Amino acid sequence: MKLSSYLDPKLIFTDLEVETKEEAIKLLIEKSAQEDKKIASMKKDIIKSVLERENEISTAMGQGIAIPHARIEGLDDFIIIIGLLKNPIKCQVAALHKEDDVKMVILLVSEVLRNKRMLKVMSGIMKIAVKHPKVLEEIKSSSNSNILFDFIKNAEVEIDGKIVAEDVQSPELMPVHPNDTLDKVAKRLIIEDRTGLPVVKDGYFLGEITERELIEFGMPKYTSVMQDLNFLTVGEPFEEYLVNEKIATIEELYRKIDVITVDKKTPIMEICFLMVNKGKTRIYVVENGKYYGMIQRSDIIKKVLHI
């Protein structure tokens, strides 16, 4: 079924005047309750559930879009409510550890067991955003709800079927370049709270750089054959790193082997098998050599188990 099949033009609102994401959520649900009896009958439960989920982790996705959502006991339906804000609001993008100016809020509510459908809708929305960024910017500045409805309808995004790699990947994650310095990569690992990053050049996947390679660079080469390192002084082991961190690049350091890749249509259970039974914490989505995104164990938790 297409994404547009779940849209109700009456539940698309424009020119909303709010100052926070919480205000936007409450206003969208209040307005929707005036148009839909089922939403009206569960208005308090919907507001409570969506705000509780939002307080756990921000649902700002980047590109000016936030997708607050909740699964609610007793709601035998799947509802999409869309709001275009008159002025952007600042929201934290949890995956990127930075703020974004949100102009479009897409609120999803469903029954508890429809997590697959919710994930597919969220994935479909972000596919549209990535594929049509210029059109999306025009829509976010529009006051015409019909333009938004027609745009989503014409995008013909399918949301049924199995959960696959492209549904749980993080396409917004910026890869690093082979010419990036140790200092630049280390800062990103710290700021973004990651243990590894994809290495990409001209859109093509080359490998990954992890905490291990950075630490290994700072250790004297002879330590690999030593069993007892007690004789080393405190400052000596990382002298080479500290001297070269701003000039040395990762070109000769990044890992090219033992890096797991899957294609965009790889089923979620195959990805989980690789993570659980092969001990992989990161898997990269690659097709024909081109990089599309990264999947971490935390993506499975956030986007599938605790959506």
Confidence of residue 160 (pLDDT cuts 50, 70, 90): low
Which range has the worst mean pLDDT, 71-75, 189-193, 268-272?
71-75
Q: How far is the C-alpha of 137 from the C-alpha of 210, rounded, in Å?
A: 35
Nearest to 294 by CA among 192, 179, 217, 183: 192
Provide the pLDDT for residue 230: 58
Q: Is the pLDDT of residue 232 over 70?
A: no
Q: Is the pLDDT of residue 234 over 70?
A: no
The two tokens of residue 180 are 């990036």
- Mean of pLDDT values over 64-80: 88
Q: Which of 58-62, 136-140, 172-176, 198-202 has the highest mean pLDDT?
A: 198-202
Provide the pLDDT for residue 233: 55
Confidence of residue 276 (pLDDT cuts 50, 70, 90): very high
pLDDT tens, 184-209?
999 999 988 899 999 999 999 999 99
Q: Is the pLDDT of residue 228 over 60?
A: no
What CATH number labels 182-216+249-305?
A: 3.10.580.10
CA distances from 27 to 11, 44, 223 (A): 12, 12, 62
Of 220 and 18, which is predicted with more confidence? Answer: 18
End-to-end Cα spacing for the chain: 21
Of 112 and 54, which is predicted with more confidence? Answer: 54
Q: Return mean pLDDT, the chain.
A: 86
Domain ranges of the chain: 3-160, 182-216+249-305
Confidence of residue 306 (pLDDT cuts 50, 70, 90): confident
pTM value is: 0.71
What are 268-275's contacts with CB under 8 Å, separation 24+?
268/162, 268/163, 268/164, 268/165, 268/167, 268/168, 268/300, 268/304, 271/165, 271/168, 271/295, 271/300, 272/300, 275/300
Which range has the worst mean pLDDT, 61-75, 111-125, 162-176?
111-125
- Mean of pLDDT values over 139-157: 77
Q: Could you give the percent of the chain with pLDDT greater than 90?
A: 49
For residue 99, how far is the Cα from the chain centroid? 14
Of 252 and 159, which is predicted with more confidence? Answer: 252
pLDDT tens, 80-124?
999 999 999 999 887 667 888 999 999 999 887 777 778 888 888
**Structural domain 3-160, CATH architecture:** 3-Layer(aba) Sandwich (3.40)
